[in-house]
């Protein structure tokens, strides 16, 4: 939104903006003819406000202070004549000389402010009420109970679906086209939904809905209240439970692999326990089609968690379903012993141990599972069990 009394200056600012953002939606306001905006003005619906010093008979710094006193108002760039210190002290996010607006400097500063606003919007500021609770202005039909996790571009929330009177988990991603990698993250988010929407297996989290708008997307999925397998391992897993859990995970992997999908980030934190004790695989953010013509994530990059990475994945080599089988072996070892097979002071030392260190030996009381562990954690892919069906047969 541009607010200034001079039509030529408003046009100049529009030109700067639309030269860089041709699809920008700009509203212009002339306070000299339309009157000053009321104290209730919050800037709602705008990403940024460009405030010129021509405010008629009124001191523009008074208008600036009125705006900046409103909680949640967008960033304000102030344009004046030798009033930089006063404007910044009054709360302006940036200042430019109105008679000498340099295009590149203006666009860079405006981009920075938009980027900052979008980062905040991807988490707390999209919500009315306390952080992560209340009503989302863009996602209708849900009341947000609490935030479960958040990153720069996405957040996961426990929410109540009002029409069905049930709890669900909502994964929300903010579309951030001006942020580096924002578009790639958005594409990966939609790819994740397209993959898991095809899945129908009792040990894979159920997906109910996808919503997409111009600036965000959300996935509504089953709420699994029993905590994750990581916590369960810390509490202690009985031998028979470890084998049953491994059977369920292998079954889920078999379903994934039959559709040409790799998980690539199999770990206890991505496996949840339902109230009935069954497991559900979640978080397919690193999953990929094995036969995609082009990986959205790019070539030669390492994705995943070092403790559970196969040797080939840790060295950024091509991976196949046997990499997920290796991750399952790590989880089985950890469930049986309460310890990870390889530890290190940093990620690289752990990755090297996966590639070079001997397969760990189980305690004597668990020796009946040593052959299975050897075949799951074999360094060379050809020496491992080749697929989930073979794992199930051994179990």
Alpha helix positions (H), 228-346: 229-235, 239-258, 311-314, 321-337
Domain stops at, among 187, 222, 257: 222
pLDDT band at 129 (very low <50, low <70, confident <90, very high): very low
Cα-based distances in Å from 183 to 187, 301, 392: 6, 18, 39
Domain stops at, among 222, 250, 271: 222
User: Which residues have a Cβ under 8 Å from the Cβ of 204 and sit 6 or more positions away?
Assistant: 196, 252, 255, 256, 280, 281
pTM, two decimal places:
0.60
Q: What is the DSSP letter of 268?
A: G
Element (H, E) at 281: strand 279-281
Q: How many CA atoms does the CB half-sphere of 300 hold within 13 Å?
A: 0
User: Which residues have a Cβ under 8 Å from the Cβ of 266 and sit 6 or more positions away?
Assistant: 249, 253, 281, 308, 324, 327, 328, 331
DSSP string covering 83-96, please? -HHHHHHTT-SEEE
User: What whole-number distance in Å separates Cα of residue 222 and Cα of residue 204?
Assistant: 10
pLDDT tens-digit map of 319-347: 889 999 999 999 999 999 999 999 888 77
pLDDT at 23 over 90: no
pLDDT tens-digit map of 145-163: 888 776 656 678 888 887 8
Q: Is 265 a catalytic residue?
A: yes
* Length, in residues, of the chain: 395
Residue 85 shares a structural domain with residue 149: no
Residue 272 shares a structural domain with residue 210: no
Q: Name which of 200, 45, 267, 245 is nearest 29 in CA terms.
A: 45
Residue 89 shares a structural domain with residue 9: yes
Residue 273 shares a structural domain with residue 361: yes
User: What whole-number distance in Å separates Cα of residue 60 and Cα of residue 351?
Assistant: 60
> How many domains would you assign to the chain?
3
Contact 179, 200 (CB under 8 A): no
Residue 257 shares a structural domain with residue 350: yes
Q: Name which of 156, 4, 155 is nearest 76 in CA terms.
A: 4
What is the extent of the structural domain holding 327?
Answer: 229-394
CATH code: domain of residue 273: 1.10.510.10
pLDDT band at 309 (very low <50, low <70, confident <90, very high): confident
The residues pairing with 158 across neighbouring beta strands, listed in sequence order, are 146, 169
Residue 240 shares a structural domain with residue 376: yes
pLDDT tens-digit map of 71-122: 888 999 999 999 999 999 999 999 999 999 999 889 989 988 887 766 554 4
Catalytic residue among 4, 228, 265, 283: 265
């Amino acid at each position: 939104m541009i607010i200034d009394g001079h039509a030529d200056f408003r046009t100049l600012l529009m030109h700067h903006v639309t030269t860089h953002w041709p699809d920008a939606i700009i509203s212009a306001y002339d306070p000299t003819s339309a009157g000053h905006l009321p104290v209730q003005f919050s800037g709602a619906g705008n990403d940024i406000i460009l405030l010129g010093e021509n405010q008629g008979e009124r001191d523009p710094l008074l208008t600036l202070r009125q705006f900046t006193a409103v909680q949640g108002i967008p960033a304000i760039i102030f344009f004046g004549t030798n009033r930089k210190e006063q404007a910044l002290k009054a709360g302006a996010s940036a200042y430019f000389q109105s008679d000498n607006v340099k295009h590149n400097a203006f666009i860079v500063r405006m981009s920075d402010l938009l980027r900052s606003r979008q980062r905040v919007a991807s988490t707390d500021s999209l919500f009315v009420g306390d952080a992560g609770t209340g009503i989302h202005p863009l996602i209708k039909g849900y009341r947000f109970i609490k935030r479960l996790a958040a990153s720069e571009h996405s957040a996961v929330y426990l929410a109540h679906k009002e029409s069905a009177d049930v709890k669900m988990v909502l994964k929300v991603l903010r579309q951030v086209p001006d942020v580096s990698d924002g578009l790639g993250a958005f594409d990966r988010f939609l790819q994740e939904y397209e993959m898991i929407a095809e899945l129908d297996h009792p040990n894979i989290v159920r997906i109910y809905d996808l919503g997409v708008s111009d600036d965000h997307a959300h996935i509504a999925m089953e709420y699994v209240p029993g905590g994750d397998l990581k916590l369960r391992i810390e509490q202690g897993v009985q031998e028979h439970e470890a084998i049953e859990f491994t059977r369920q995970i292998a079954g889920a992997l078999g379903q994934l692999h039959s559709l040409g999908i790799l998980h690539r980030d199999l770990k206890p934190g991505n496996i949840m326990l339902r109230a009935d004790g069954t497991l559900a695989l979640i978080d397919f953010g690193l999953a990929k089609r094995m036969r995609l013509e082009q990986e959205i994530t790019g070539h030669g990059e390492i994705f995943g968690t070092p403790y559970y990475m196969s040797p080939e994945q840790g060295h950024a080599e091509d991976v196949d379903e046997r990499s997920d089988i290796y991750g399952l072996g790590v989880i089985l070892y950890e469930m049986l012993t309460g310890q990870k097979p390889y530890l290190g002071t940093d990620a690289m030392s752990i990755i090297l141990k996966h590639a070079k260190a001997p397969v760990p030996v189980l305690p004597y009381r668990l020796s009946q599972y040593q052959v299975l562990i050897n075949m799951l954690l074999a360094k060379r892919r050809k020496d491992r069990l080749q697929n989930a069906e073979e794992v199930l047969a051994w179990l």
